[in-house]
Amino acid sequence: MDVDHYQDDAHESASQGIWAALLADAPWNAKSVIAAGIATVGGLTAWVTNFSSPAVAGIGGSYLAGFFIGWASRRFLRMAALLTGALLAGIAVLEETGWINLDWTSVETQIHHAISAAHREAEGLKHLLSGYLPSTGAWAVGMFFGFRKK
């Protein structure tokens, strides 16, 4: 009975450890995110009470959106790089042992097509976001600082 209890505790602590590692140094703790959040709420409040235009809220919201997109992009790219490296190492081992035989020119062509498609989709997302976000400049600055957030 004690062994099962120990295994359950180890599994729970491992899953908590994954979430803790994923959200380590969470983006909402950054000073710029807190300031942009306060500016957004203040701008919305001022706009609702007819004291100002919604420009402050739009700029703050655009910064926040960019920051979170940049932060998530960094996390995604890090995981994608690790998975790609593991996949390439696995393929190299399998090919070296003779279990598989790959036509590398075909693989290179497929990778080139996939990269081109991803680039087109990223451009489409950029145009979509720039159409919906009132301040593309604030979004770009937020994305830069969000991507830098470790």
**Domains of the chain: which residue ranges?**
26-148
**Residue 113: pLDDT over 90:** yes
The rounded distance, in Å, linking the Cα atoms of 98 and 92 is 10
Highest mean pLDDT among 2-6, 45-49, 64-68, 108-112: 108-112
pLDDT tier for residue 90 given thresholds of 50, 70 and 90: very high
Q: Go through 70-79 and write b for each residue having 16 or more CB atoms within 10 A of its CB, e for each that does not.
A: bbeebeeeee
pLDDT tier for residue 37 given thresholds of 50, 70 and 90: confident
pLDDT tier for residue 6 given thresholds of 50, 70 and 90: very low
Q: What pLDDT does 86 receive?
A: 94
